[in-house]
Every structure is written in structure tokens, then in C-alpha cells.
């Protein structure tokens, strides 16, 4: 098995500072939020951010889906530091400084594009019971520029160093051209490019850029809701998750040396994955309902665990096992946070 080396895993996405607080149903209703959802902030949510920080128990965590996943992968691997590279855009402000510090503490090699126009992005995690409603105010994260950052020789060298690439679907709303450039590189060099459906709204409103990248996707992640929305948008005419996985696997693909792998998580139900020409179910680890503190970040953690095994070239079953372990750890804690070391063998 290859040992992980620096910059072997590359991630690019929206670096956000998570602001999480326990709220009540009235709060959700006031801002028209569903208990379990991810949306982009609109003008009517401006007051939400002002209100949530005034709550008595607010927690700040470095977040953003892709950044969470590469951070978890690094945590699972432990050594060497900086196995994961991360690109994204932040503002030159206090929240930006916090993100830089947190990335460093997590031993992720973050190279942010820093600009003055917009403040660092934030994501309000409105928690009610086991549910979390996420409202992302991308701000600076939305300002990522391919020609100002990705195309610079020193940055592109880091892209070339990687063997595994992961970009959440959320970044399709920001810089689809950056995603295509990285995805093409991976495909041309027979390296592994992974993507996530991320949220129902991506398949609904960003289907065109999503389908432009799909031919380069070697591993596609998603949860049951995202899978169902994707199937509906593509006219699959089935709501059977195994069938959706199969049809997704068979979508056109550039690099024919690798068969596409599709992995759909379903919360406490079995994870569904295409293994060769079959679709297999993988049961998740048992957990007492009372031990679940916060499901925010469970999907990101699953991907992070998976990637940590993938960079070591483990078999798919082993990658899924590592993903299940990481998700099981994360849901026992607030936000996408973790203990000092994994207890994983």
C-alpha cells in the first residue's frame, strides 16, 4: 500500500466559517427554513445572521463542505501533515484569519485566494433536535477566480502533485471553469476525480455545469435526497436508489480506464454503492439515538474518511468502512469537529 505523501489529495471549494446555534421552530418559520436543508442565503436571510450570533450559545467552526472533508481525511491519516491541499477564496478580515488558523491547526495545506471586495463567507447552522438547516452566505467564497489563483504556476504545480481530487458540487455555483480544468487534468493523467451532489438545489438549478463535469467524475457521492432529485432532473423515472446508482454509473465517461463508482449514503440506512457491475448495500455502524449530538457534517465526514482510505489505494469496501467510521465519530459532536486522534484500524 502506498504511504500518503504531501499534497497527494487536492480539494477546492467554498471556505466558510460555520456559525452554529440551537434554535426553535419559530426561528425556522420566521426565515422560511426547512428543519433539514442546505440553501444559499438571499436578502431575506440577512437578519438571520445578525440574530443567530446574538444567541447565548454560538459556536464558530471552520467549515465549508470540501474543506471539512479534506480536513477529516487529514485527521484520519494523521501523518504526514499536509497530505491535503485546499484552494478557495476568503476575505482579508477576522473570519478569514480564523479560517487560516484552523486550517493550519488541522494540518491542511490551505492556499486561499484573498481579496478585499467581499468578507469571508459564513454558514449559519440552525440546529433543532437532530436536524440542521444550513444557510450559506458565500460572500468571499463566491469570488474565486481561476485566472487569479488556479492558473498561477505555483498553484497549478500543487494540483499536478495530487493523485486524488475532491470537489463538492457546491463549488459549481462559483467557478465551474476551475472544476473542469482540474477534472480534465485528472482524467487525462488517469488520476481519480471525485465529486459530490451536495444538495438538491445543485441538480435543480446548476444541472448544466454539473453535467459538463460528470464525464470526468470517477467517484460520485451523494445522499438519498440528492440522489432522488438528480434522478428526477435527469428523467431516470425511478425512485429506487440502487437503480439510480446504476443509471448514474452508466452516464457517459471520458476516461474509460476507470469505471465510475457511485456512492449514496442514507443516514442510518445502508450506504449504496456500485461495485463493478453490481450495486451493493453497506450497513452503517450502529449508534444509540441519544448519542447523536449533531448530524451537521456527517456527509462531509463520510467523504473525508473515504478519501483517507482512497489515497492509500484501499479497496472500495475499505473506503466505505473508513467513511462510516468518520461519520460515526462526527455525529457525536457539535459541528464538523473531532477528537485528537482517530481510533480506527
Q: What is the pLDDT of residues 25-71, one digit of tens each?
A: 999 999 999 998 889 999 999 899 889 988 768 888 888 999 999 99
Write out the H or E segment, with its range, that includes residue 177: helix 176-188
What rounded mean pLDDT belongs to the chain?
A: 94
**What Å distances lie between residue 122 and 6, 211, 246, 282, 288, CA to CA?**
29, 27, 36, 34, 31
> Which DSSP symbol is given to 284?
P
The pairing of strands 269-275 and 84-91 is unpaired
Tell me if 68 sits within 8 A of 102, measured CB to CB: no
- The answer to whether residue 333 scores a pLDDT higher than 90 is no
Q: Where are the domains of the chain?
A: 7-14+62-118+137-329
User: Across residues 208-224, what is the average pLDDT?
Assistant: 98
**Fold of the 7-14+62-118+137-329 domain:** 3.40.1190
Asked whether the predicted pLDDT for residue 205 surpasses 90, the reply is yes
What are the catalytic residues? Answer: 300
What mean pLDDT do residues 156-174 have?
98
* Reported pTM: 0.93
CA quadruple 7, 11, 12, 17: dihedral sign: negative
Amino acid at each position: 500500500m502506498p504511504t500518503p505523501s504531501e499534497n497527494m489529495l487536492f480539494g477546492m471549494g467554498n471556505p466558510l466559517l460555520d456559525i452554529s446555534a440551537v434554535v426553535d421552530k419559530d426561528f425556522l418559520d420566521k426565515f422560511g427554513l426547512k428543519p433539514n436543508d442546505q440553501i444559499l442565503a438571499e436578502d431575506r436571510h440577512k437578519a438571520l445572521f445578525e440574530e443567530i450570533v446574538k444567541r447565548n450559545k454560538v459556536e464558530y467552526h471552520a467549515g465549508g463542505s470540501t474543506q471539512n472533508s479534506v480536513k477529516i481525511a487529514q485527521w484520519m491519516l494523521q501523518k504526514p501533515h499536509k497530505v491535503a491541499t485546499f484552494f478557495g477564496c476568503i476575505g482579508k478580515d477576522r473570519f478569514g484569519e480564523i479560517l487560516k488558523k484552523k486550517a493550519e491547526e488541522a494540518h491542511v495545506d490551505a492556499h486561499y485566494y484573498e481579496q478585499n471586495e467581499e468578507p469571508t463567507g459564513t454558514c449559519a447552522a440552525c440546529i433543532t433536535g437532530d436536524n440542521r438547516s444550513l444557510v450559506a452566505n458565500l460572500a468571499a467564497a463566491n469570488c474565486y477566480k481561476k485566472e487569479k489563483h488556479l492558473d498561477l504556476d505555483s498553484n497549478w504545480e500543487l494540483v499536478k502533485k495530487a493523485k486524488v481530487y475532491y470537489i463538492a458540487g457546491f463549488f459549481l455555483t462559483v467557478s465551474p471553469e476551475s472544476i473542469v480544468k482540474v477534472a480534465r487534468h485528472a482524467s487525462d493523467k488517469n488520476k481519480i476525480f471525485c465529486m459530490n451532489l451536495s444538495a438538491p438545489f445543485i441538480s435543480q438549478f446548476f444541472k448544466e455545469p454539473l453535467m459538463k463535469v460528470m464525464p470526468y467524475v470517477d467517484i460520485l457521492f451523494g445522499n438519498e435526497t440528492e440522489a432522488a432529485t438528480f434522478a428526477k432532473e435527469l428523467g431516470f423515472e425511478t425512485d429506487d436508489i440502487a437503480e439510480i446508482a446504476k443509471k448514474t454509473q452508466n452516464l457517459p465517461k471520458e476516461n474509460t480506464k476507470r469505471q465510475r463508482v457511485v456512492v449514496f449514503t442514507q443516514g442510518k440506512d445502508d450506504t449504496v454503492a456500485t461495485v463493478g457491475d453490481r450495486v451493493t448495500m453497506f450497513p452503517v455502524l450502529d449508534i444509540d439515538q441519544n448519542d447523536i449530538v449533531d448530524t451537521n457534517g456527517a456527509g462531509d465526514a463520510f467523504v473525508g474518511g473515504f478519501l483517507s482510505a482512497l489515497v492509500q489505494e484501499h479497496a472500495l469496501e475499505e473506503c466505505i468502512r473508513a467513511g462510516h467510521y468518520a461519520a460515526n465519530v462526527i455525529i457525536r459532536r457539535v459541528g464538523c469537529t473531532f477528537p485528537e486522534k482517530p481510533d480506527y484500524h
